[in-house]
Amino acid sequence: LELVFSYLELRELRSCALVCKLWHRVLHGDENSEVWRSLAARCLAEEALRTDILCNVPTYKGKVRAFHHAFSTNDCSRNVYIKKNGFTLHRNPIAQSTDGARTKIGFSEGRHAWEVWWEGPLGTVAVIGIATKRAAMQCQGYVALLGSDDQSWGWNLVDNNLLHNGEVNGSFPQCNNAPKYQIGERIRVILDMEDKTLAFERGYEFLGVAFRGLPKVCLYPAVSAVYGNTEVTLVYLGKPLDG
């Protein structure tokens, strides 16, 4: 069974898992089985597998899942493109424009975590957070695009402000002399659709809940950037680990 399954694509594997308990156990009992190794080798770029992009995704099944939750090449500003590794957004040096991107898959239930980090200068505005499908992913000028309307919620890493509906919802994290974001530092975003909250972690430090009372709609991980040639990487981690 494992040999046969190793030739199938994800959609076919999902159907196979519903056939019987044995097939389900073969597919999901070992997340590093040859089934998931083969699928990862086919759908993920070599760069994503041999670099540290997916270092916090320990299993091949998790790596495949992260790829399917990565930035969408069809749901982003025309001024950005997704690099060949499949996880990194590159913003072209376009003057007087703010540009964003959403992931391929959004969430309307459950608990989810993903990592985001900048691999270039932040510029004057660099926002991470969530957005509905209706939120704009491009606008004129250098602004906090994510959080500029009632369809998105964001944390500006430059000035540590929380943004929603075009307003500042306070500073974050709520502590004196909060450290500024450092290039390459991984921020973990935690979306809880059951409690309707959005929270952040830096390293292994829980920074607190940033937004409460999120609507019961489909919400997508998203970012917006202004600096030319800056790059932002987003990796979906799955269900957050408590504690």
Instruction: Indicate whether 43 pLDDT > 60.
Output: yes
pLDDT score recorded for residue 242: 63
Cβ contacts of 161 within 8 Å, gap of 6 or more: 144, 155, 168, 169, 170, 171, 172
Sign of CA dihedral 137, 141, 145, 151: negative
Task: Give the model's pLDDT for residue 178.
Answer: 77
Q: Name the phi and psi angles at 172, rounded to 5.
A: -150, 140
The residue written with tokens 């999902």 in the block is: 14
pLDDT tens for 132-157 read: 999 999 999 999 999 999 999 999 99
User: Picking from 47-61, 64-78, 165-179, which range would have the lowest pLDDT averaged per residue?
Assistant: 165-179
CA distances from 235 to 39, 53, 67, 113, 229 (A): 18, 8, 8, 9, 20
Tens digits of residue pLDDT in 67-111: 999 999 999 999 999 999 999 999 999 999 999 999 999 999 999
Domain layout of the chain by residue ranges: 1-66, 73-238
With 90 as the cut, is the pLDDT of residue 42 above it? yes
Segment 167-192 shows an average pLDDT of: 90
**Contact status, residue 60 vs residue 26, Cβ threshold 8 Å:** no
pLDDT of the residue at 203: 84
| Mean pLDDT calculated for residue range 23-38 | 93
- Show the CA angle centred on residue 114, arms to residues 110 and 117, nearest 5°: 160
pTM over 0.85: yes
Tell which wins on pLDDT, 174 or 237: 237
Q: Which residues pair with 171 in a beta bridge?
A: 161
pLDDT tens track for 190-242: 999 999 999 999 988 899 999 999 999 999 999 999 999 999 999 999 998 76
Q: 161 is written with which tokens? A: 């402000």
Backbone φ, ψ for residue 85 (5° rounding): -70, -15
The pLDDT of residue 243 is above 60: no
Q: Which CATH number fits domain 73-238: 3.40.50.1820, 2.60.120.920, 2.60.40.3620, 3.40.50.300?
A: 2.60.120.920
pLDDT at 228: 95
Tens digit of pLDDT for each residue in 104-131? 999 999 999 999 999 989 999 999 999 9
pLDDT the model gives residue 100: 97
